[in-house]
Amino acid sequence: MIYIKNLKKSFGRIQALNDVSLNIEDRQVFGLVGTNGAGKSTMLRIISGILRQDSGRVEVLGQPVYDNPTIKRNIFFIPDDPYFFRNGNAGDMGRYYGSVYPGFDGDRFHRLLGDFSLDPSRRISNYSRGMKKQLAILCGVCSNARYLLCDETFDGLDPVMRQAVKSIFANDMSERGLTPVIASHNLRELEDICDHVGLLHSGGLLLSRDLADMKLGLQKIQCVFADEEDAARALTGLDLLADDRRGRLHTIIVRASREEVLSRFNRIDTVFFELLPLTLEEIFISETEVVGYDIKNFILK
């Protein structure tokens, strides 16, 4: 587990992180969401031991990370702009990481290079941006580190590559307990991969919630009522978070169970009714408004 308590970090007068506390459980994909400058990269660098916090505690597997080479072997950090040797190739990077991480799986690395059509002898400087990100992910996965910290790593990957990486993550989570932590400014990049999501804004943590729990507690309804009296009867007493009307069509978000919504609307005369899945964006808008923040002013797209 990654344990973070009262974390603070400043760069001169700029407060990058302000009293952040959260736990990242093992064997789940944790999505760290925030606008540019929210503190995501700073947090990942502190977790990986690159930076030292000003105050607070950061522990991985029960131990502090900074200046702790033993614990750092369990962590692989992929920055937004991954570093590769000047004039180096993928084979060079594999040999380097094999010297740093005792568990580096060279055979798997070369096999995956072939699966991703990455030439191990070609200079990385001639790779595209997406190919460089693929290579960084493969280095991280084959390091066999327990925690893979990805800073905007999925930005720029095409849908086929995203699906391939997701499959690798799922396999490693099941087989060896991998825990990916993926930071992004794009909610849609994380919607189909994360189990748990934390939202950073201006150096503070607005919320950290299990995505499945958030989806279970919120329902999105589209319906056309027979008349306004039926609309009033349907909505009275519900914890109504949104009611967007376009003509007679209502798009409603309520905090309730699916069973409660179906039971109530089965007793109401509707011309049209359906329950729809919520997007991560809609969930975050609803949850942050509850705690007094209007995420629509800095919605992540």
pLDDT tens sequence across 115-141: 999 999 999 999 999 999 999 999 999
The pLDDT, as a whole number, for residue 206 is 84
60 plus 185 within the same structural domain: yes
Instruction: Say if residue 265 is in the same domain as residue 157.
Output: no
Are 220 and 264 part of one and the same domain?
yes
Judgement on whether residues 136 and 238 belong to the same structural domain of the protein: no
The CA-atom distances, in angstroms, between 58 and each of 34, 64, 67, 84, 132 are 20, 6, 12, 28, 30
114 and 160 in one domain? yes
Q: Kindly report which listed range (64-78, 93-107, 278-292) carries the lowest average pLDDT score.
A: 278-292
292 Rama class: left (phi>0) / alpha (psi -120 to 50) / beta: left
Residue 168 and residue 70 share a domain: yes
Residue with tokens 């990957």: 157
Expressed as residue numbers, the domain containing 68 is 2-202
**What is the per-residue pLDDT for 298?**
53
Task: For 25-60, write each residue's pLDDT tens digit.
Answer: 999 999 998 877 889 999 999 999 999 999 999 999
Number of domains composing the chain: 2
Task: Give residue-wise pLDDT tens across range 166-198.
Answer: 999 999 999 999 999 999 887 777 877 899 999
Would residue 208 count as lying in a domain?
A: no
Residue 282 in this model has a pLDDT that exceeds 70: yes
